Structure 1
Amino acid sequence: MQNFTFQNGTKIIFGKDQEQLVGQEAAQYGKKLLLHYGGGSIKESGLYDRVVQAVLEQGIEIIELGGVQPNPRVSLVREGVTLCKEHNIDFILAIGGGSVIDSAKAIAAGANYDGDVWDFFTGKSPVTDCLPIGVVLTIPAAGSESSAGSVITNEEGDYKRAVGHGTMRPKFAILNPVLTYTLPSYQTACGITDMMAHILERYFTNEKNVELTDRLCEATLKTIINNAHTVIEDPTNYAARAEIMWAGTLAHNDLLNTGRIGDWGSHDIEHEVSGIYDIAHGAGLAIIFPAWMKYVYKHDVNRFVQFANRVWDVEIDLNDLEKTALAGIKETEQFFSSIGMPITLAEANVGEEHFEEMAKKGTERGPLGNFIKLQEDDVFEIYQLAK
């Protein structure tokens, strides 16, 4: 087990009607707030009005910036940075899912920086300080509500890049499973896939003797799997929605990777796909992750056998461990398909025309992943396996 320091400063406020507490939580961080959100769904549901009322009751001034899209754009982030500087914003409140939260984090970092916010995502400048951020979560998926990372797309060149820093963790996150009842089934499935991928990135490690976090990863995966079809078929099932929502947070709050080094190659490979084709991140991961598994499983067949047995209840064939490992990969692929995810690039209307470009762009700052270091040719082959 690796040495580690674990500190997650995000206050989680979980349960029914907890968004009513947003005003008093926000009031701890100042008197001028940037309210950041996506489209009109929060207004149609009444959530926007409830949040605004709770904030105004605390005497907080609100500046608004809506319009966040899936795969959030740096152009809107730049608008947010400008607003923060012009209005001397004290605090940013994000209402939405991972895209809104990631956009809010980028704005929070850029607000205290004299250069262009994209510098953080290219490695030109490190993040050193952020405005405080709060979250009212509406889409369980990305885990951004308590993570230290942000992923943003630059329309110039179709680059999708990530950056992380401890100050980017939200100060609080309000998680009310009821707010997820109206999510379309496809969006729910994308979220399920995204959170599972976050766990799998941590699970496939070269680190030995990490039994506790192995078991935590496996338990969280099984909980997601056990509740996935319920939330899709019965969207207002509070118990199942609660399990999925909390699992999504645990999947990406860094607890599950304590003492181990995760991979993250699949995320980087997928970012090139959604950066160009603008598909949902979860859908892209449903395609890329099984392809990555097929490409690398021989590196540590025993870990893939453990995954197949403990997560998917595949009986271990001691005479053919490779058969067991491949069965676990197949179960993963079939599960993604069963909840409505594409499992090939063709299903997502992604052709082969950009494979070489994506492989080159993805590795331009070095090889991808840690389980196996993937060079440009390796990434190209994974796209081939995924087509």
Structure 2
Amino acid sequence: MQNFTFQNTTKIVFGKGTEEEVGEYTAKHGSKVLLHYGGGSIKKYGTYDKVVESLEKAGVEYVELGGVEPNPKLSLVKEGIELAQEENVDFILAVGGGSVIDSAKAISVGYFYDGDVWDFFTREAEITEALPIGVVLTIPAAGSESSDSAVVTKMEGMYKRDIGSELIRPQFAIMNPEITFTLPNYQTACGAVDIMAHIMERYFTNTENVELTDRLSEQALKTIIKNVPVVLEDNEDYAARAEVMWTGTIAHNNLLGTGREEDWSSHGIEHELSGIYDVAHGAGLAVVFPAWMNYVYQHDLERFAQFAVRVWGVDPDFKDLEWTARQGIKRTKEFFSSIGMPVTLEELDIPADRLEEMAQKATENGPIGNFVNLDTEDVLNIYKSALK
């Protein structure tokens, strides 16, 4: 196990009706907020009205900026920075899923910066100040409600890049599983894959003697595998929705990565897919992760065999560790398909004509990944293997 420092300062407010408490929690951090959200779903299903009523009851002023799309765009971030500065807000409240939260985080770091906020995403500037953020979570997926990272897409050049800083970790996250009852099944499934990917990016490691976080990661994966089919069958199963929502937070609040080297190449490879083709992040990961697994599993057959046995319940063949390892990869891919996710680029309607471009962009700053370092040719091979 490696040395580590773990800190997560986000207050989690979890359970039925908790969105009605947002005014109380917001008032502890600000008096005038930017209320940031996506499309019309929060208004259609009543979440918006509950949030606004709670803010007004607590005496919190607010200005609004909606319109966040999946794979949040830099253009709206810049619009949000300008609005926040003009209105002198002192807090940002994100009501939505990972895209809304990430957009809010980008606005928060751009608020105090005189240059182009994209400088933070290209590492040309360091984050030294940010507006505080709060969250009302509507989609369990990205884990952004308590993470220290955010991802934004710049349409010019079609780049999808990230930032990271303790300064953008939300002050609080209000999480009511009931809000997720109205999610379309496809969105729920995309979120499930994203959650599993966050866990697996940490699980596949070269660090030895990490039994505790191995076991925590395995159980988190099994929780998703068990409960996602339940919520796809019954959208209003509160118990299963609650398990999925809480696992989504644990998957990306840094706990599962403590003391171990993390990988993150699959996310880097997928970001080029969603950056250019604007596919749902979870759908892209459902294609990329099994392809990555098949490309690298021989690097550590024992770990992949452990994954197969402990997570998927594969009956191990002690004379053929490779067969056992491949069964875990097979079952991962089959599970993604069973919940309605694409598992090939063809299913995403992504052609082969830009694979080289994506591989070059994914590795423009050098090889990616820690479990196995992947150069441009490696990434291209993974894309090619995922075509059909």
Amino acid at match of 2:98: G
Query: 1:31: how far off?
Result: 1.0
Count of residue pairs brought into register by the alignment:
387
Query: 1:29: how far off?
Result: 1.2
Query: 1:59: how far off?
Result: 1.5
The answer to whether structure 1 residue 181 and structure 2 residue 186 are counterparts is: no
In the other structure, the counterpart of 2:191 is 191
Amino acid at match of 1:219: Q
In the other structure, the counterpart of 1:332 is 332
In the other structure, the counterpart of 2:74 is 74
Query: 1:242: how far off?
Result: 0.3
The answer to whether structure 1 residue 306 and structure 2 residue 309 are counterparts is: no
Query: 1:157: how far off?
Result: 0.5
In the other structure, the counterpart of 1:294 is 294
61-70 or 123-132, larger mean C-alpha shift: 123-132
The answer to whether structure 1 residue 118 and structure 2 residue 122 are counterparts is: no
Query: 1:374: how far off?
Result: 0.5
Query: 1:330: how far off?
Result: 0.1
In the other structure, the counterpart of 1:151 is 151
Q: Tell me, in whole angstroms, the C-alpha distance in 2 between the residues paired with 1:310 and 1:370.
A: 23
In the other structure, the counterpart of 2:257 is 257
In the other structure, the counterpart of 1:46 is 46
Query: 1:362: how far off?
Result: 0.7
Q: Tell me, in whole angstroms, the C-alpha distance in 2 between the residues paired with 1:383 and 1:76.
A: 30
Percent identity of paired positions between Structure 1 and Structure 2: 64
Q: Tell me, in whole angstroms, the C-alpha distance in 1 between the residues paired with 2:170 and 2:287.
A: 30
Amino acid at match of 2:153: T
The Cα offsets for residues 331-362 of structure 1, whole Å up to 9 and x where unpaired, read as: 00000000000000000000101100000011
Provide structure 2 residue ranges, at least 5 long, that are not aligned to the other structure.
none
Amino acid at match of 1:137: L
Q: Tell me, in whole angstroms, the C-alpha distance in 1 between the residues paired with 2:56 and 2:73.
A: 29
In the other structure, the counterpart of 1:238 is 238
Q: Tell me, in whole angstroms, the C-alpha distance in 1 between the residues paired with 2:385 and 2:31.
A: 53
The answer to whether structure 1 residue 381 and structure 2 residue 381 are counterparts is: yes
Q: Tell me, in whole angstroms, the C-alpha distance in 1 between the residues paired with 2:239 and 2:46.
A: 23
Query: 1:81: how far off?
Result: 0.7
Q: Tell me, in whole angstroms, the C-alpha distance in 2 between the residues paired with 1:198 and 1:138.
A: 18
Q: Tell me, in whole angstroms, the C-alpha distance in 1 between the residues paired with 2:87 and 2:79.
A: 12
The Cα offsets for residues 58-116 of structure 1, whole Å up to 9 and x where unpaired, read as: 22111100000000000000001111111111000000000000000000011011111
Provide structure 1 residue ranges, at least 5 long, that are not aligned to the other structure.
none
State the TM-score, normalizing by the size of structure 2: 0.99
Query: 1:248: how far off?
Result: 0.3
Q: Tell me, in whole angstroms, the C-alpha distance in 2 between the residues paired with 1:34 and 1:324.
A: 51
Q: Tell me, in whole angstroms, the C-alpha distance in 1 between the residues paired with 2:228 and 2:45.
A: 24
The 5 Å alignment of 1:190-229 reads: 190-229=190-229
In the other structure, the counterpart of 1:135 is 135
The Cα offsets for residues 108-137 of structure 1, whole Å up to 9 and x where unpaired, read as: 011011111100111111112210000000
Q: Tell me, in whole angstroms, the C-alpha distance in 2 between the residues paired with 1:112 and 1:325.
A: 49
Query: 1:6: how far off?
Result: 0.5
Q: Tell me, in whole angstroms, the C-alpha distance in 1 between the residues paired with 2:179 and 2:383.
A: 36
Q: Tell me, in whole angstroms, the C-alpha distance in 2 between the residues paired with 1:377 and 1:200.
A: 23
The Cα offsets for residues 286-332 of structure 1, whole Å up to 9 and x where unpaired, read as: 00000000000000010000000000011111111000000100000
In the other structure, the counterpart of 1:92 is 92
In the other structure, the counterpart of 1:30 is 30
In the other structure, the counterpart of 1:270 is 270
1:174 partner SS? strand
1:29 partner SS? coil
Q: Tell me, in whole angstroms, the C-alpha distance in 1 between the residues paired with 2:305 and 2:47.
A: 45
State the TM-score, normalizing by the size of structure 1: 0.99
In the other structure, the counterpart of 1:163 is 163
Q: Tell me, in whole angstroms, the C-alpha distance in 1 between the residues paired with 2:249 and 2:191.
A: 11
In the other structure, the counterpart of 1:369 is 369
Query: 1:143: how far off?
Result: 0.3
53-62 or 134-143, larger mean C-alpha shift: 53-62
The 5 Å alignment of 1:326-365 reads: 326-365=326-365
Segments of 4+ moved more than 2 angstroms: none
Amino acid at match of 1:262: E
2:364 partner SS? coil
Query: 1:366: how far off?
Result: 1.2
149-158 or 82-91, larger mean C-alpha shift: 82-91
The Cα offsets for residues 152-193 of structure 1, whole Å up to 9 and x where unpaired, read as: 000101000011100110000000000000000000000000
Amino acid at match of 1:345: L
Q: Tell me, in whole angstroms, the C-alpha distance in 1 between the residues paired with 2:59 and 2:217.
A: 43
Superposition RMSD in Å: 0.5
Amino acid at match of 2:135: V
Q: Tell me, in whole angstroms, the C-alpha distance in 2 between the residues paired with 1:258 and 1:352.
A: 38
Amino acid at match of 2:276: I
